[in-house]
Amino acid sequence: MTTTLTNWAKNHTYRAGTVHEPRSVEEVQTLVRGARSRGVRGLRALGSRHCFNDVADGAELVALGSLDPEIEVDTEARTVRVGGGVRYGTLAEHLHAEGWAVHNLASLPHISVAGAVATATHGSGDARRNLAAAVVGLEVVAADGGLRHLLPQDGDLAGAVVSLGALGVMTAVTLEIEPTFDVAQEVRTAVPWDAVLGAFDQVTASADSVSLFTRWEGEVVDQLWRKSRVGRPEGAWAPGPELVAGTVATENLHPLDLDARSTTEQLGRPGPWHERLPHFRMAFTPSNGAELQSEYLVPRGHGPAAIEALRGLSHLIAPLLLVSEVRTIAQDELWLSTAYQQDSVGLHFTWKPLQPEVEALLPRIERALAPFGARPHWGKLFSATEAGEPGRLAELYPRLGQFRELAAAFDPEGLFHNDYLRRHGLVSPV
């Protein structure tokens, strides 16, 4: 169909005049073959549109939301095969009803599975890898219209999971699952930065998932969220190790000090994993809506120093900021993962909808974080002149050259190429 689409935040309008809404894998294959015969360049898959840049933009778009929302649990293999357009919140409700869970969730349950894994989207936790690390199988319609099946024994799987759409249309994903579990979430306010930075490892290890919300002003972290699994072998859940300061919240809070009805239950009340691990409820509009986002991941050991560098820019950041979140992510082996072979600290910014001003500030932030090897989140705003300068991404991603070779093998004629992939050197010229 012909239409005009924007992303979720409405800061980007897709240039495609045609948006296809296939209902089956066979229809996707037909669309891909037809695009090749028409000489189309820039055919791109589109998920829940929660990216803040042009990573999914192209001449024609293949929206995954209308694909068969299949969810197939294999209890013996402890895996689930799920259609690429299915949202994590929908998958979570289905799994929980059958007694299963995935290892982690992002702050928003509204994002599609294919889009989330393709951009290395993550949750939080010292021992929790990003969502893509749970992938043990992919089904991708490649440029010739054929359906490729990738499994763990294929050497290409680690390169194909975080693919940014460069390999084709991801129609199904197989994920590792585990038995369902409960989580309790508690929040503290006004925790001094000195207490956090002086014992950073202890703070982030005090629960399964820890998030620090800050506006970078003043001497305290505004909110500290801790999510802990219930029912450990040693007994019932209890709050994690006490922090040296801060105030325990006695009512549910929102990171932006908005109405907390949209946030998941806090106050230490246990509940199903999928109703606690995200910050926001599936039934409500995600987060704030009118916002922009950026994020940079630095090696775990550089976390406190990187935080101090950002605190030094508070006079520039705070006027444009809604809130920042600091989280930890465990390392993985996915070639283009922001946590590839390094435990990481994520430094996330939720900006006011002031894109020119934010884009003008990003190079300054990236220069401050460059000594720490900061990797930008693929689906959020970052500076093409700083993070994307020649050689810079190759330094940050040692398997980038191999990824280009893999992309060329799947798509030798550049059917799925777009400006984003070319701009950041993620595909070879054709």
Q: Which fold has domain 71-180?
A: 3.30.465
Residue 76: band (very low, low, confident or very high) from pLDDT cuts 50, 70, 90 = very high
Distance CA(366)–CA(377), nearest Å, equals 12
Distance CA(396)–CA(348), nearest Å, equals 18
Residue 382: band (very low, low, confident or very high) from pLDDT cuts 50, 70, 90 = very high
CA dihedral 192, 197, 203, 204 (to 10 degrees): 130
Q: pLDDT at position 137, please?
A: 97
Distance CA(401)–CA(75), nearest Å, equals 37
Q: pLDDT at position 386, please?
A: 44
pLDDT, tens digit, 9 for 90 and up, residues 112-123: 999 999 999 999
| Lowest-pLDDT range of 97-106, 186-195, 224-233 | 224-233
Distance CA(422)–CA(426), nearest Å, equals 6
Q: pLDDT at position 237, please?
A: 53
105 and 373 in contact (C-beta within 8 Å)? no
Please name which of 65, 118, 108 lies closest in space to residue 88, comparing C-alpha atoms.
108
CATH of region 182-376: 3.30.70.2520
- Burial, 21: exposed, middle or buried (Cβ in 10 Å; 0-12, 13-18, 19+)? middle
Q: pLDDT at position 387, please?
A: 45
Give me 428's structure tokens.
């070879």
Q: pLDDT at position 17, please?
A: 83
Residue ranges of E strands in 67-141: 71-74, 79-83, 100-101, 135-141
Q: Residue range 391-398: average pLDDT?
A: 84
334 and 131 in contact (C-beta within 8 Å)? no
Q: Specify the pTM.
A: 0.94
Q: Is the pLDDT of residue 4 over 80?
A: no
Give me 166's structure tokens.
């460069």
Q: Residue range 1-14: average pLDDT?
A: 81
Q: Residue range 120-130: average pLDDT?
A: 95
Residue 235: band (very low, low, confident or very high) from pLDDT cuts 50, 70, 90 = very low
Q: Is the pLDDT of residue 317 over 70?
A: yes
Residue 288: band (very low, low, confident or very high) from pLDDT cuts 50, 70, 90 = low
Query: Where in the chain is CATH 3.30.70.2520?
Result: 182-376
Of the chain, the percentage scoring pLDDT greater than 70 comes to 93
Q: pLDDT at position 232, please?
A: 56
Which residues on adjacent β-strands are paired with residue 311? Answer: none
* 355-369 helix and 303-311 helix, angle to the nearest 10 degrees: 130
Please name which of 80, 83, 81 lies closest in space to residue 68, comparing C-alpha atoms.
83
Helices (H) and strands (E) in the chain, counts: 12, 19
Q: Residue range 304-330: average pLDDT?
A: 98
Distance CA(360)–CA(383), nearest Å, equals 9
Sheet holding 18-20, edge to edge: 18-20, 60-63, 43-46
Q: Is the pLDDT of residue 390 over 60?
A: no
Residue 199: band (very low, low, confident or very high) from pLDDT cuts 50, 70, 90 = very high
| Lowest-pLDDT range of 30-34, 96-100, 280-284 | 280-284
Residue ranges of E strands in 177-304: 178-179, 182-192, 209-214, 220-229, 247-248, 271-272, 292-299
Which residues on adjacent β-strands are paired with residue 297? Answer: 346, 375
Q: Is the pLDDT of residue 422 over 60?
A: yes
Measured between its terminal Cα atoms, the distance across the chain in Å is: 29
Give me 385's structure tokens.
């002149």
Residue ranges of E strands in 22-78: 43-46, 60-63, 71-74
Residue 258: band (very low, low, confident or very high) from pLDDT cuts 50, 70, 90 = confident
Q: Is the pLDDT of residue 165 over 80?
A: yes
Q: Which amino acid is at 85?
A: G
Q: pLDDT at position 239, please?
A: 61
Q: pLDDT at position 430, please?
A: 76
Distance CA(194)–CA(218), nearest Å, equals 11
Share the mean pLDDT of the chain. 92
